[in-house]
């Protein structure tokens, strides 16, 4: 049998409630066909992080102070009782394995996530406890989070007493904040990244320019906040350059040399690493039957759940909303909700949100290429410009996400036109329908109907 890979389609799967089971099934296929850590198959990165000159580069996970969070506080994390794999219960199991195998903590950034739908509900209801303050850090939840109307209510709620946003530009989310702090862009800060220790290389470099005006790097913001909260002993570096310099010094590299050649390649690639130690699982084997899932109270084998809205699970809804909706299609030159500003050249390249619809479907609905159309679900409607194509299934409509209009009125409730074309006005996010292990909500496989702007729905 020839070596083979299963391409990881990323958002095509991870924006559905079946994400965990699908990834589990894909891993099983790799294992039973002998395509794990072999040439031409699925290569496994060393989990320890990069080794440089024979030494392990200090990991950011060693600085996260996970051990300082007591058990009683861990249990309070929103979602820790329901979505256990990506909250403290899952981290504790994965950390135990990571420490045993590589001697460093498992990165919190990869495994400690509160599903957004739980956050907004906690703000609005005060259950399981009040959420009174929020720091939004280079993020725009009025665009990326599901059910924009719910997000809007939460960010406007008097229960949220303080909301601080760190941003490059004013956004719909920033317009609702109490304070907006100007953040240094990627050109105004240095970089030294190992993708949180999950890759065997180091990449980065010096800042291109110093921050303009009052802009601060994220390191400076969190350090100054930490120092004021009595954590000065954990922030011995005054600048991010000092931190990078300390980190590189541990493996015999100067900051100046790194900036001149901002790429440290992996050490020699090794395949079949499992022949020496096995696999980093509780059993030391590839676990088709996951003992980790079982320990957390989940099905140890993959299973399938029909989407919460579909012609099969909700035929009565499908009669009124007969098309299947995909949101979140990637497109150049924009990324998520960035680069919508007029005058940068990027918005001029792609001025309007686009909905792809099959040629025959469009003909049946009286829609022509370039028409503005309404896309409507049970939760609301938005408009996009139609792109008529043979390259999409006749049953499906695919729309772009992240659309807002910085040139429009920033005042509430207009908020840069955030409700006009924003795909997340349409999405579904009730906690009961989210992925049971990690809380992924439903951005794809929804039901919708489509009609021309100016025609009744």
Q: Give residue 52's pLDDT.
A: 87
Q: Which residues contact 95 (CB under 8 A, 6 or more apart)?
A: 66, 105, 106
Q: Which residues contact 108 (CB under 8 A, 6 or more apart)?
A: 61, 64, 66, 91
What is the rounded average pLDDT of the residues 47-55? Answer: 84
Ordered structural domains, the chain, with CATH: 115-268 (3.40.50.740), 315-452 (2.40.40.20)
Q: Which residues contact 391 (CB under 8 A, 6 or more apart)?
A: 356
Q: Give residue 47's pLDDT.
A: 75
Q: Give residue 456's pLDDT.
A: 67
Angle at 74 between CA 69 and CA 75, to 5 degrees: 155
What is the rounded average pLDDT of the residues 348-355? Answer: 97
pLDDT of 349 over the 80 cut = yes
Q: Give residue 207's pLDDT.
A: 96
pLDDT in tens, 116-163: 999 999 999 999 999 999 999 989 999 999 999 999 999 999 999 999
What is the rounded average pLDDT of the residues 73-91? Answer: 97
What secondary structure, in 3-state letters, does the chain show?
Answer: CCCCCCCCCCHHHHCCCCHHHHHHHHHHHHHHCCCECCCCCECCCCCCCCEECCEECCCHHHHCCHHHCCHHHHCCCCCCCCCCCCCHHHHHHHHHHHHHHHCCCCCHHHCCCCCHHHHHHHHHHCCCCCCCEEEEECCCHHHHCCCHHHHHHHHHCCCCCEEEEEECCCCHHHHCCCEEEEECCHHHCCEEECCCCCCCCEEEECCCCCCCCCCECHHHHHHHHHHHCCCHHHCCCCCHHHHHHHHHHCCCCCHHHHHHCCEECCCCCCCCCHHHHCCCCCCCCCCCCCHHHHHCCCCCCCCCCCCCCCCCCCHHHHHHCCEEEEEEECCCCCCCCCCCCCCCCHHHHCCCCEEEEEHHHHHHHCCCCCCEEEEEECCEEEEEEEEEECCCCCCEEEEECCCCCCCCCCCCCCHHHCCCCCHHHCCECCHHHCCCCCCCCECEEEEEEEEECCCCC
pLDDT in tens, 175-218: 999 999 999 999 999 999 988 777 889 999 999 999 999 999 99
What are the beta bridge partners of residue 442? 428
pLDDT in tens, 416-442: 999 999 999 999 999 999 999 999 999
Whole-number average pLDDT of the chain: 94
Q: Which residues contact 450 (CB under 8 A, 6 or more apart)?
A: 323, 355, 357, 361, 365, 367, 373, 374, 375, 376, 397
Nearest to 412 by CA among 224, 195, 152: 152
Q: Give residue 307's pLDDT.
A: 93
Confidence band, pLDDT 50/70/90 cuts, at residue 330: confident
Is residue 376 within 8 A of residue 450, CB to CB? The reply is: yes
pLDDT in tens, 258-305: 999 999 998 888 899 999 999 999 999 999 999 999 999 999 999 999
What is the rounded average pLDDT of the residues 243-250? Answer: 96
Q: Give residue 302's pLDDT.
A: 97
For 451, other C-beta atoms within 10 Å of its C-beta total 16
Lowest mean pLDDT among 8-22, 317-331, 355-369, 437-451: 8-22
Distance CA 97, CA 91 (A): 10
Is residue 28 within 8 A of residue 302, CB to CB? The reply is: yes
Token digits of residue 142 = 């009025």
Q: Give residue 7's pLDDT.
A: 77
């Amino acid at each position: 049998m020839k070596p083979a890979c299963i391409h990881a389609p990323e958002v095509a799967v991870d924006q559905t409630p079946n994400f965990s089971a699908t990834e589990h099934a894909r891993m099983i296929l790799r294992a039973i066909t002998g395509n794990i850590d072999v040439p031409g198959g699925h290569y496994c990165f060393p989990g320890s992080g990069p080794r440089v000159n024979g030494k392990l580069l200090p990991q950011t996970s060693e600085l996260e102070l996970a051990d300082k969070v007591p058990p009683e506080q861990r249990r309070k994390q929103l979602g820790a009782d329901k979505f256990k794999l990506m909250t403290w219960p899952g981290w504790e199991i994965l950390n135990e394995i990571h420490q045993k195998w590589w001697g460093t903590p498992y990165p919190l950034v990869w495994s400690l996530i509160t599903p957004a739908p739980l956050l907004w509900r906690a703000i609005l209801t005060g259950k399981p406890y009040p959420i009174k303050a929020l720091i939004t850090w280079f993020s725009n939840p009025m665009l990326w989070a599901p059910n924009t109307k719910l997000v809007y209510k939460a960010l406007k709620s008097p229960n949220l007493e303080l909301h601080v946003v760190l941003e490059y530009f004013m956004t719909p989310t920033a317009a609702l904040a109490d304070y907006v702090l100007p953040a240094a862009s990627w050109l105004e800060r240095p970089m030294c990244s190992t993708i949180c220790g999950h890759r065997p290389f180091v990449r980065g470099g010096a800042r291109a320019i110093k921050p303009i005006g009052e802009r601060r790097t994220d390191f400076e913001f969190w350090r100054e906040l930490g120092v004021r909260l009595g954590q000065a002993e954990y922030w011995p570096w005054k600048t991010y350059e000092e931190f990078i310099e300390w980190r590189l010094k541990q493996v015999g590299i100067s900051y100046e040399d790194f900036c001149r050649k901002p790429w440290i390649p992996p050490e020699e690639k090794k395949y079949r690493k499992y022949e020496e130690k096995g696999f980093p699982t509780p059993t030391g084997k590839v676990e088709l039957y996951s003992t980790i899932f079982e320990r957390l109270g989940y099905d140890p084998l993959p299973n399938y759940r029909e989407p919460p809205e579909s012609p099969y699970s909700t035929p009565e809804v499908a009669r009124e909303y007969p098309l299947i909706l995909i949101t979140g299609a990637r497109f150049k030159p924009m990324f998520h909700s960035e680069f919508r500003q007029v005058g940068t050249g990027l918005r001029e390249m792609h001025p309007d949100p686009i909905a792809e619809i099959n040629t025959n479907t469009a003909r049946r609905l009286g829609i022509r290429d370039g028409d503005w159309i309404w896309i409507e679900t049970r939760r609301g409607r938005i408009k996009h410009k139609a792109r008529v194509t043979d390259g999409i299934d006749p049953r499906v409509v695919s729309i772009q996400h992240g659309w807002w209009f910085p040139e429009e009125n920033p005042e509430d409730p207009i908020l840069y036109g955030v409700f006009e074309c924003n795909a997340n006005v349409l999405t579904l996010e009730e906690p009961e329908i989210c992925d049971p292990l990690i809380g992924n909500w439903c951005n794809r496989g929804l039901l919708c109907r489509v009609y021309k702007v100016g025609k009744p729905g």
